[in-house]
Chains A and B, each alone.
Chain A
Amino acid sequence: MSLVTKEIECSGETLKLTNSRVLYWQREKMLVLSDLHIGKTAHFRKAGIAIPSQVLHNDLKRLKNLIQHFDIETILIVGDLFHAEVNKDIQTFKEWKVQFEAKEWRLIKGNHDRLQLSIYEDLGIEIDKSFHERTPFRFVHDVNHCQEAIFCISGHTHPGVLIKGRGKQFIKLPCFQVSKSQLILPAFSEFTGLNTGCDDKGTICYAFTKTNLFEI
């Protein structure tokens, strides 16, 4: 996997999209990502569904590479850091996070983030209940918390695109959805589904693969 980036302009700011499912805001030295769903694979395993733990290890490895690659002060997670209950995956995350304690970690609570506040405090993560503003952007989990006239950056939907090939073949790829007033991030975790529905004509999708990032 090679890191591919693309710079786009939103509300006069330059944002760098990556094929590693994050965006980087250079001026604020901020890494923005969404929908990590840590604990999801363990949650499945507890229910008797065999999903390898490797999935989480891979996600964390990718995040580590990104934090080391860019010049970063803040890691902003726009929701769904954790998937469900406290389980071993969260312990793994906690141990992993120690190496980046000097950074500012912020989380805007997503619909999955229902753990006690003390758990986040314990992890050293600042919590925003429904949004976080840093001019000129408003960061939210779900677009319901967007406000008109402020460019909104969100997650939650796990956007994807459907690319049809010859015959009846098709592939689905994750993407960033960007319009005039908002940007929706792809889900960071690889163990997440994709929603390929997008009715809005004014939206540009930046889809990516392991080696490429392109506009659709």
Chain B
Amino acid sequence: MDNIAGTKSSLTWAVHLSVALLVALWLFPTVGLFVSSFRTADQIATNGWWKALFPSEQNLTLRTDSPETQVQQGALYVIEGNLFAVDGRPVDEATVSAWGTSSRDIAAYEPGDVAEVDDGATLTVDDAGNYRMEGPAEFTGRRGERVFVVATTPPELTFENYRNLLFSGRNTDGMVNAFFSTMTVTIPATVIPILIAAFAAYALAWMDFKGRALLIALVVGLLVVPLQLALIPLLKLHLAIGIGKGYLGVWLAHTGFGLPMAIYLLRNYMAGLPRDIIENARVDGATEFQIFTKIILPLSFPALASFAIFQFLWTWNDLLVAKVFLIDATGQTTVMTAQIVDLLGTRGGNWEILATAAFVSIAVPLFVFFAMQKYLVRGLLAGSVK
């Protein structure tokens, strides 16, 4: 817009740079969690996730194979193998930069050096982690010799966390159960208010009756009533009429809390539809019910979609309403948000579990967000700009 008068802003590069910085800053936290969910517990604890994409230098404590595997070569007893090998096969392409046999000096030797272990036995480790330990006497003991290694390991990402959280047989953390609970809460709580609100919005937008202005003012007022106020009275009501804590209660609560927003959004949208269409239909003898179902509802699709996304995000991400109206003492119906808060308490240090659980719960809303962003923005604008 600043180019209109023919003066190309000299600040363009600064704008690009600042936007890039802003985006990076806003994206950074989420990326951190995302990357962490693909790292093993050891990796997370060893260094920051921002180093996950580069080779990292680690201090490792490894062991040679046990004396059972020794072979006799002439007068010498020899144990050979690779320090990084798990179950006999090499795993990753780590590079040894220094190694040692004592915890007091873990970088005592260069790769290729020969170290005296004890009783005349010697050990040598090359930069790929291959070692050869040889001695004049038979090696004894159950376990192999301890070797300390300073090694550069390549970045490694794994789906292990997701497999453990979602598919492992002993699903101790109950995320799968919570995922389905959240689904069960969300879908009816999104669908039911739409229909109720659509009828009310039509009446408020296109029907003439006494008290209409008052009702609209009431809806606008209820838009901002904090739902904290509703918690005790409604819980009391639910307990009194036998709904108790459960899905039915949480569906009803979400329906009630979502209605003001739904009516407000839909009424504003419907009031903006062209008057001609509706009056022509009336002249042609269509009943109000027909006008609503055949004309208004299809034309209002964008507004319906906007509200549906709002309500979906809100119910999926909700913690408070679920805690009050749904989750009972048995904990069978716990939703993902509540499950994650529990994990924060019990598994506060286990970032591989936390990050994965959080990302499982975030993934669906993020998908909806990127797929339906157009409607979300439209709804926000209709809901706020006066």
Q: Is the A/B pair a real complex?
A: no
